[in-house]
Every structure is written in structure tokens, then in C-alpha cells.
């Protein structure tokens, strides 16, 4: 399914849907299995770097195969799409949701490409997420030198000009691993919520305190992204298995505990953002 109804229901119900970045088959299986166990809608997403590694067709095929037998709604989302062409490739492959991130570019350039992406996707009946302001840190191929907080009034202008279905906002979060305790401006989030009616999205959520994530959801965030912490959980489980069983040569042997570790992390986050039982 698309993210359109998922996020509309979340906004009406006062919870958020988890969007989990996947890197391989085991992570696709883990995320959907965790969502099924907790009866939660779920969004799987891939970044440009991930798609450069395996391709949009491969990730669509894996997700579609797993979602076909799932008991919950599953969406496949392009995360931080960095060009109109990549958005078009994702749509052509079968993705059910697209993000274009032009936040690194001058405002007018961001607006111009965002308009093209939304026009294309809406013509196909697909929802679009856009970003205004800059989430800091580094994730995948995305690197930011700092955080440019989202200006509420500019957000109004941006949404009016580009017509997105959801908006990713910058309130102090960062991609990757936090160094120290981040300052998340939840009051800014509330001010954006007051003037922007579409669902809001929180990026850079890996490593945030549970109470902060819950507060953001309470103040209007309807989609919360998790990536780095899933990669950490997966890799840690593989390392631990190989340390204990150094003679392992079958990838399935360490794929099982890695899949379990990712699923447990997903379930913990679903509980925090309130989507359990909402599928």
C-alpha cells in the first residue's frame, strides 16, 4: 500500500508509523515480521546508496514477495531520493512512496525539483515526502555539515508551492550516531505543526531517547525514520555469532541471529511511537 492512508490514519490517531531502512533480505523479513507480531502498519525504505548496491528492482521484488503474505499494511519508500531521475526509477519499479530531498540545495532549486517530483508521483497516485531544513550528520551517501532548522513560515510557502503529502522537518536531529546528547527543539516542532497541516516526518531518530521520540509524536510527527540503529544491531549480531562460531561459512547461520536482532529493535520502536495494534 502507499503511505498516504497510513500517515493520515496516524495523524488522526495521534501516533506515528515507523519507517525502517533495509539493506538486504534478512532486514526486509525482520521488519515485516516485527510489524506483524505487533499488528502495526510499517514502512520499509531504501536510500540512494542502498539502491546503488542492489538496485530498485531488487528491493521492490524482495519487499513485494514478503508483503504479499503479510497480515499488515506494508509500504516501500524511497528515502532521501537525491534526483528526479531516481524518483522516476523508483516509481517505475513499483515503489509505493517517494521522498525527494533537495534540502542541500538553494531554496528555489529545492522548490523547482520538488514540484517536478510531486507532479510526476501524484499523476501516478503516489504520495511524496519532501524535506525543508537540513538534518545533520551522515547516513549512507548523505552528509551534512550542520543543522539548518526548519523555518515555520518558509515551511508554509514550501508546502503551498510544492504540494507534498508529508514534510520532513529539521529540529536538531542528525543522521548516524550522536556524539553527546542532542538538543531537539520540540517547541519548534509545535510551531511548525500549527501552520502546516500535512503529516510531519522525523529523520535522524536512531539513538534518540525514547521520551524524546514519544514527545515528537505527541507534538505532531506521523512518521519516524530509523536506520543506523538497525545496521548496528544487525552487524553486532553477526560479529557475536562469528566470534562464538569462528568456523561458520554458511551465511544463513549468522543471518538468523542478525534477523532476530533487527526484529527486536523494530518492535521496541513500534512500541514507543504508538502504532502497535493500528494495522
pLDDT of residue 137 exceeding 80, the answer is no
**What are the tens digits of pLDDT across the range 72-131?**
999 999 999 999 999 999 999 999 999 999 998 999 999 999 999 999 999 999 999 999
* Bridge partners, residue 167, by sequence: 130, 200
CB atoms within 10 A of CB 279: 19
**What are the tens digits of pLDDT across the range 208-239?**
889 999 999 999 999 999 999 999 999 999 99
- Catalytic, 79? Answer yes
pLDDT of residue 139 exceeding 70, the answer is no
pLDDT of residue 270 exceeding 80, the answer is yes
Q: Which of 79, 101, 140, 165 is catalytic?
A: 79
pLDDT, residue 111, reads: 98
Q: What is the value of pTM for the model shown? A: 0.93
Confidence of residue 173 (pLDDT cuts 50, 70, 90): confident
pLDDT, residue 134, reads: 74
Q: Which domains does the chain have, with CATH numbers?
A: 3-273 (3.20.20.70)
Q: Residue 71: which residues within 8 A CB-CB, separation 6 or more?
A: 36, 39, 279
Calpha distance 81→56 (Å, rounded) = 12
Amino acid at each position: 500500500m502507499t503511505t498516504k492512508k497510513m500517515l493520515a490514519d496516524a495523524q488522526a490517531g495521534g501516533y506515528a508509523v515507523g519507517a525502517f531502512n533495509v539493506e538486504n533480505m534478512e532486514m526486509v523479513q525482520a521488519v515485516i515480521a516485527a510489524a506483524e507480531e505487533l499488528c502495526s502498519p510499517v514502512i520499509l525504505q531504501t536510500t540512494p546508496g542502498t539502491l546503488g548496491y542492489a538496485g530498485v528492482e531488487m528491493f521492490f521484488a524482495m519487499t513485494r514477495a514478503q508483503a504479499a503474505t503479510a497480515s499488515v499494511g506494508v509500504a516501500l519508500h524511497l528515502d532521501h531520493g537525491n534526483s528526479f531521475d531516481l524518483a522516476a526509477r523508483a516509481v517505475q519499479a513499483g515503489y509505493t512512496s517517494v521522498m525527494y530531498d533537495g534540502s542541500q540545495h538553494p531554496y528555489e532549486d529545492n522548490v523547482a525539483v520538488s514540484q517536478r517530483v510531486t507532479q510526476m508521483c501524484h499523476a501516478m497516485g503516489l504520495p511524496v515526502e519532501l524535506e525543508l531544513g537540513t538534518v545533520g550528520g551522515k547516513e549512507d551517501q548523505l552528509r551534512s555539515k550542520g543543522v539548518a532548522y526548519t523555518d515555520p513560515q518558509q515551511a508554509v510557502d514550501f508546502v503551498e508551492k510544492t504540494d507534498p503529502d508529508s514534510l520532513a522537518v529539521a529540529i536538531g536531529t542528525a543522521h548516524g550516531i550522536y556524539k553527546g546528547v542532542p538538543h531537539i527543539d520540540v517547541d519548534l516542532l509545535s510551531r511548525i505543526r500549527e501552520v502546516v497541516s500535512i503529516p510531519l516526518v522525523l529523520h535522524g531518530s536512531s539513538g534518540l531517547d525514547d521520551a524524546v521520540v514519544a514527545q515528537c509524536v505527541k507534538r505532531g510527527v506521523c512518521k519516524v525514520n530509523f536506520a543506523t540503529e538497525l545496521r548496528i544491531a544487525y552487524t553486532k549480531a553477526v560479529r557475536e555469532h562469528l566470534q562464538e562460531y569462528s568456523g561458520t561459512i554458511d551465511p544463513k547461520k549468522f543471518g538468523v541471529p542478525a534477523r532476530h536482532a533487527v526484529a527486536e529493535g523494530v518492535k521496541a520502536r513500534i512500541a514507543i511511537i504508538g502504532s502497535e495494534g493500528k494495522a
